[in-house]
Structure 1
Amino acid sequence: MAKLIYATNMSLDGYIEDERGAFDWFPVDDEVFAVHTELLRSAGTFLYGRRLYEAMSVWETDPALAALSDLMGGFATAWRAASKVVYSTTLDKVSTADTRLERSFDPDRVRDLKATATSDLIVGGANLAAQAFQAGLVDECQLFVLPVVVGGGKPGLPTGMRVDLELLDERRFRNGVVRLRYRTVGQ
């Protein structure tokens, strides 16, 4: 059975966006970017909420972005290679290939996806990930913790629930980012 991996960038104080909804405090770094690309390549399906999907779809809809460097081209290729499921009640249509629009998160459908997938699934977006955590579907977290405290905003991890984790791996990057990889316990 494939794993459902929650992957996100977050500030040291646990936020994926600051109070203005911005995430422009992410330190650009080729080493971290390459690890993100490796993670994308390992997955066959991405589960996204509307906002994250719209932000990420440029990797398919803007060919100039991929042409900027080999690293960016590799990321774009990895992003385009995966199937996408977008959960939104407000999005009218999707703008990328191999993308399905769902109006609501259905845990049973995600369980079926995990059971039949030949490679892992990545869930992105804190709200969608919280629903997956609540349903006991998240098998692993990959948290890229950034060396900044933003003081408030959108939490990167679910609130109001407990999830026990076991540390599998950690990696420290030269720019101060730390990737923490956890397995969920007792889900």
Structure 2
Amino acid sequence: MGKLVYAANVSLDGYVEDEDGSFGWSEPDEQVHAFWNEHERGIGTSLYGRRMYEAMRVWEDDDWLADEPPVVREYAQIWRDADKVVYSTTLQDVSTARTRIERQLDPDAVRRLKEESGSDLSVGGATLGAEAFRHGLVDECVLLLHPVTVGGGKPALPRGVRLDLELLEHRRFASGVVHVRYGVRRAT
């Protein structure tokens, strides 16, 4: 059975995007990129909202990768090897392999995906992540806290949802980025 992991780059004040929708402040250096590669290697299926999918589908295209460092090219292959589910009411078709569209997040269908999966699943994007948290679907949070405050924008974690978390792992990178991995404690 796979776990559903919410993973995100986060400003120190808790945002995945600033007020203008920018997240350039979270561009990874080689060490952080290698961390994300290792993390994504364990993911069999990625769940995306439309906006996150549109940002991520660049990894399907080889044209821009030729002059990129090996760690970046490696990520592209890892991303391509995973299955992808895009939740969107407006997207008509997808332009990447191993990708399908669902019109809405069905909590029971996600639970079945987790039960049937031999690897972990990830949920990408703060909006879809918030919905997954509200339905009690998320098992772990992997957050990379960047040494920057952006003053507002899109919150990384859902408002109005209480989560009791258990620290499972942490690490500091040379760039000052801090990785924390938390397990979501279930009410008993």
Question: What is the TM-score when the length of structure 2 is the normalising length?
Answer: 0.97
> C-alpha displacement at 1:27, in angstroms?
4.4
> C-alpha displacement at 1:28, in angstroms?
3.2
* Unaligned residue ranges in structure 2 (runs of 5+): none
Between the aligned partners of 2:64 and 2:5, the Cα distance in structure 1 is: 26
> C-alpha displacement at 1:90, in angstroms?
1.1
Structure 2 residue aligned with 1:152: 152
Contact 1:66 1:74 in 2 (8 A): no
1:161-172 matched pairs, under 5 angstroms = 161-172=161-172
> C-alpha displacement at 1:86, in angstroms?
0.1
1:6-17 matched pairs, under 5 angstroms = 6-17=6-17
Between the aligned partners of 2:30 and 2:3, the Cα distance in structure 1 is: 27
> C-alpha displacement at 1:32, in angstroms?
0.3
Between the aligned partners of 2:36 and 2:105, the Cα distance in structure 1 is: 25
1:63 matched to 2:25: no
In structure 2, give the amino acid aligned to 1:57: R
- The alignment yields a C-alpha RMSD, in angstroms, of 0.9
Structure 2 residue aligned with 1:40: 40
CA deviation digits over 1:121-143, x for unaligned, max 9? 01000111111111111000000
1:22-41 matched pairs, under 5 angstroms = 22-41=22-41
Aligned residues: 186
In structure 2, give the amino acid aligned to 1:50: R
**2:166 match: secondary structure:** strand
Where in structure 1 do 4 or more consecutive aligned residues deviate above 4 Å? none
Between the aligned partners of 1:90 and 1:10, the Cα distance in structure 2 is: 27
Structure 2 residue aligned with 1:106: 106
In structure 1, give the amino acid aligned to 2:62: P
Between the aligned partners of 2:36 and 2:51, the Cα distance in structure 1 is: 19
